[in-house]
Structure 1
Amino acid sequence: MNLVERVLKTIRNYEMLKPNDTVLIAVSGGQDSMFLLQAMNYLKTKLKLKKLVVCNLDHGIRGKESAEDSLFVKTRAEDLNLGFIHKKIDLSKKRSKGSSMEEAARKERYEFFNEAALSAGANVAATGHTLDDQAETILMRIIKGASLKGIVGISPVREERGIRIIRPLFELEKGEIEKYLDERGLEYRIDSTNKEPLYFRNVVRKEILPFLEKYNPRLKRVLCSLAEHLREDFEFIRESKEALRHKPREADGVLEIKLKDLITQPKALQKEVLRDALDKIGGEVKRLNFRHWKEAEQLIARKRKGSSLDLPGDIRITRTAASILFQKRLCP
């Protein structure tokens, strides 16, 4: 089975696409996205897709090099008679306080995908995430500390603002893709920042993973299998949370969860309810650590009414006699 056939198998196994879908393909010009573009164009008829549109975002951090990448992608899209949507930003001005450059880039990419999908009339956006990207993401989150939701890593299919985000290369390794392109003389661009040790992902990719692979050459696949098993557990928790009859209520900037509705639930489910509440009220969920969760558990289970806990994002949660209240803390 060649690589394109394996992409088709992944698409079908995860039910990524349906007949008459209009698909936005995110293409940077690198190996993975150029292979994704070729594979999707080849499979368009077999999958009975309505239309393919290429989108490209220039983050504005590599100057002339990134501009040349965008021109390369535009030319390739034109060669294939596909629509092309492009945007250039200055990522350094978009980065918020406390966020990494990678987090800022990811946020801007998905904002752009939504804009481009709306412009193209697309209901699906395909990205070039590979098995390597998944393994790196999982390892990074384990090193930095993550909950179950974090360790499941990149989802092969998810919904965001009405757009289905799919990862058709999810089960392929970068080395396989590089070999496929090189053997066929297919061009791609190389991002010089991928070699810089300034970014944590590059350190994981170039140093940490290769070191660990000395002890298990199949480590990347092992990490991805772990995430797949954990995703099944997480989906069970998520579906159980959605099935809860009593939802948090919000009024005048205060979100309320009744203690009787929360305290009877398993801790894993309590945590997801709390996470959603914090996210809804404007908390910085990604900054929550193990200590925060334990303190929140104690507040729910044992603290007296009037007790409170401050969490990242200037959120204060307060225990009353019958409820847990979430609200933005007034800073002096």
Structure 2
Amino acid sequence: MEREFEQLGNKNSFWQQGSRILLAVSGGADSFVLLRLMEKMRIKYDFFIGVAHINHQLRPSSTKEAQDLAQYCQEHAIAFYERKWEDVPHAGVEEAARTFRYAFFEELMQDYYFDTLMTAHHADDQLETMLMKMIRDGQLKNAMGIKMRQAFAGGKLIRPLLSFSKEEIYSYASLENLPYFEDESNYYLDVQRNRLRQQVVPLLKSENPQILAHFQQLSQQLIWAEEIIEEKVRKWCSEYLTEQEAAISFAVKDFLILPKRERYFTLQYLAQKIKREYDVSISEDNLQKIVKLLGEDKAQWQLDIAAGWRVVKMYEKLTIGKKISNHSAKTFHFKVGESGFLSENEWLAIVPITEKVNLPEKVKLWSEISQPLALNFPNEVIIRKRVDGDRIQLTKSLRKKVSRILIDKKVPNDIREKTWVITDVNNHVLAVLPIAFSYLSIAVETDKIHYRLLYKYQ
């Protein structure tokens, strides 16, 4: 085993002279074997090793085991770092323990300048993990199991024992007379991993002794497949994806060019990106709904995917992002000659045509609409958000719902929600900014123009 381990380490550059390698050692047979192997390698290749141990305090023997491990490290001139887990949750213990462990490892990597973290995951762990993932969610990305190497805490995380079976590890531990500990909780059948370990894996091994090698081979093939998929999706995203604060979007036509299989993996990649950057999870069910909805000929739709997040399709554009609330929208009263901001991105003035408008500096380069106003335009108007039932008189004979105008103009839903209407004090709609004006507000060529409405926006 030592010879195979050394050959594997040299082939994959697990170490080099001067490396600083942190070993995650629980005290079980697998982690003690990793420790012993790395002790022998450090003599031969001249690198530094340290041991990180978490005292989970879940068993009466935990403290004694931590003390014995500390004593072992002292006797073998190995740096030892221990941390106790004080705040043990009542539920989700396994995941919480893992989070706690890796946070400690990351801290040690940064504080003591370790460039590598090694854990003692072995081939049986790989088989168990892949079975668990396939049972739980059936996701390709998760089914690949445990990677032998990945980035971690500014360095790398390596699992150098993944190609060795549990039997090989226990045989080596016995040969070396290692003082490892047995965790009795590994035999509790109320834990899924333990049930697989005790009841399922032995049956699979009896069916085919090569099962561990086959699953390791499958894991590698899945990793390669995922890398191919991710490379292709990343290329598409770099070309077609637009990113804003807490939102990503793309043109639907560019998405629908993709074959259906690529549409799914593109959305899955975006879901992982959103999870990583915003800690927002998009369920598999919602991913399937998005794929289906994008394949249908609907001009607009929206789907809530998480608290405060939604997917919105507006004609030729799809956006995944935070919901935008209009609860803070105000109602403004403007008199002729007044000006002011309606929002951070909108400014309005109703001014005499003969006067020079004193524009705020920030709005000077914004887009604008300048509308001459009819002589009978009221001296005071109300500016508010549109409501159901609003109608505007476009001509003497044509009165139309504001909502219908917005639909006809193909105004996206999110813009519709931001639309302002201008009314007189009797609630007659004079304008829909920046879409339409009532014929009663528009100055005709024969009018002597006294005022204009200036709307600046970005």
Q: Please indicate the TM-score interval, normalised by the length of the shorter structure.
A: 0.7 to 0.9
Alignment partner of 1:71: what SS? helix
Q: Identical aligned pairs, as a percentage? A: 24
Q: Cα distance, 1:113 vs. partner?
A: 0.9
Q: Cα distance, 1:58 vs. partner?
A: 1.6
Please point out which of 231, 234, 238 is paired with 2:226.
234
Asked if 1:216 corresponds to 2:216, the answer is: no
In the alignment, residue 43 of structure 1 is paired with which amino acid?
Answer: M
Q: Deviations for 1:237-260, whole angstroms, at most 9, x for unmatched residues?
A: 223334442375544433334445
Alignment partner of 1:20: what SS? coil
Asked if 1:102 corresponds to 2:98, the answer is: no
Count matched residues. Answer: 320
Alignment partner of 1:307: what SS? strand
Asked if 1:117 corresponds to 2:114, the answer is: no
- Alpha-carbon distance in 2 for matches of 1:78, 1:252: 51
Aligned residue in 2 for 1:138: 130
Q: Cα distance, 1:328 vs. partner?
A: 4.6
Q: Greater shift after overlay, 292-301 or 153-162?
A: 292-301
TM-score by length of 2: 0.64
Aligned CA distance change for structure 1 residues 15 and 149 (closer, same or farther; 3 Å):
farther
Please point out which of 28, 32, 40 is paired with 1:42.
40
- After the TM superposition, which residues 77-226 of structure 1 pair with which residues of structure 2 at under 5 Å, given as runs? 77-90=73-86, 92-93=88-89, 100-226=92-218
Alignment partner of 1:171: what SS? coil
Q: Cα distance, 1:30 vs. partner?
A: 0.5
Aligned CA distance change for structure 1 residues 312 and 30 (closer, same or farther; 3 Å):
farther
TM-score by length of 1: 0.86
Q: Deviations for 1:47-95, whole angstroms, at most 9, x for unmatched residues?
A: 442x211111122322x31112221221121122111111111352396
Q: Cα distance, 1:227 vs. partner?
A: 1.1
Q: Cα distance, 1:262 vs. partner?
A: 4.0
Aligned CA distance change for structure 1 residues 293 and 264 (closer, same or farther; 3 Å):
same
Contact 1:253 1:327 in 2 (8 A): yes
Asked if 1:276 corresponds to 2:272, the answer is: yes
- Alpha-carbon distance in 1 for matches of 2:169, 2:80: 23
Contact 1:136 1:201 in 2 (8 A): yes
- Alpha-carbon distance in 1 for matches of 2:90, 2:103: 12
Alignment partner of 1:24: what SS? strand
Q: Deviations for 1:298-331, whole angstroms, at most 9, x for unmatched residues?
A: 2333363442233356642222334332235699
Q: Cα distance, 1:278 vs. partner?
A: 2.9
Q: Cα distance, 1:125 vs. partner?
A: 0.3
Aligned residue in 2 for 1:319: 313
Contact 2:189 2:195 in 1 (8 A): yes
Alignment partner of 1:103: what SS? helix
In the alignment, residue 20 of structure 1 is paired with which amino acid?
Answer: G
- Alpha-carbon distance in 2 for matches of 1:293, 1:178: 44
Aligned residue in 2 for 1:71: 67
- Alpha-carbon distance in 2 for matches of 1:273, 1:260: 19
In the alignment, residue 38 of structure 2 is paired with which amino acid?
Answer: M
Alignment partner of 2:196: what SS? helix
Which sections of structure 2, spanning at least 5 residues, go unmatched?
Answer: 326-458
Q: Cα distance, 1:171 vs. partner?
A: 0.5
Aligned CA distance change for structure 1 residues 90 and 20 (closer, same or farther; 3 Å):
same
Aligned CA distance change for structure 1 residues 8 and 268 (closer, same or farther; 3 Å):
farther
Structure (1/2) with the larger helix percentage: 1
Contact 1:59 1:89 in 2 (8 A): yes
Contact 1:131 1:172 in 2 (8 A): yes
Q: Greater shift after overlay, 173-182 or 238-247?
A: 238-247
Contact 2:149 2:157 in 1 (8 A): yes
Aligned residue in 2 for 1:246: 239
- Alpha-carbon distance in 1 for matches of 2:44, 2:254: 49
Contact 2:264 2:287 in 1 (8 A): no
Alignment RMSD (CA, Å): 2.5
- Alpha-carbon distance in 1 for matches of 2:288, 2:298: 16
Q: Greater shift after overlay, 254-263 or 137-146?
A: 254-263
Asked if 1:292 corresponds to 2:290, the answer is: no
Q: Greater shift after overlay, 239-248 or 78-87?
A: 239-248
Q: Deviations for 1:1-46, whole angstroms, at most 9, x for unmatched residues?
A: xx12222223234333344321111011110111101111111243
Contact 1:316 1:329 in 2 (8 A): yes
Contact 1:31 1:178 in 2 (8 A): yes
- Alpha-carbon distance in 1 for matches of 2:190, 2:182: 17
Q: Greater shift after overlay, 207-216 or 264-273?
A: 264-273
Please point out which of 255, 258, 263 is paired with 2:248.
255
Aligned CA distance change for structure 1 residues 31 and 252 (closer, same or farther; 3 Å):
same
Whichever of the two has the greater Rg, that structure is 2
Answer 1 or 2: higher relative contact order, Cα 8 Å, separation at least 6.
1
Contact 1:263 1:270 in 2 (8 A): no
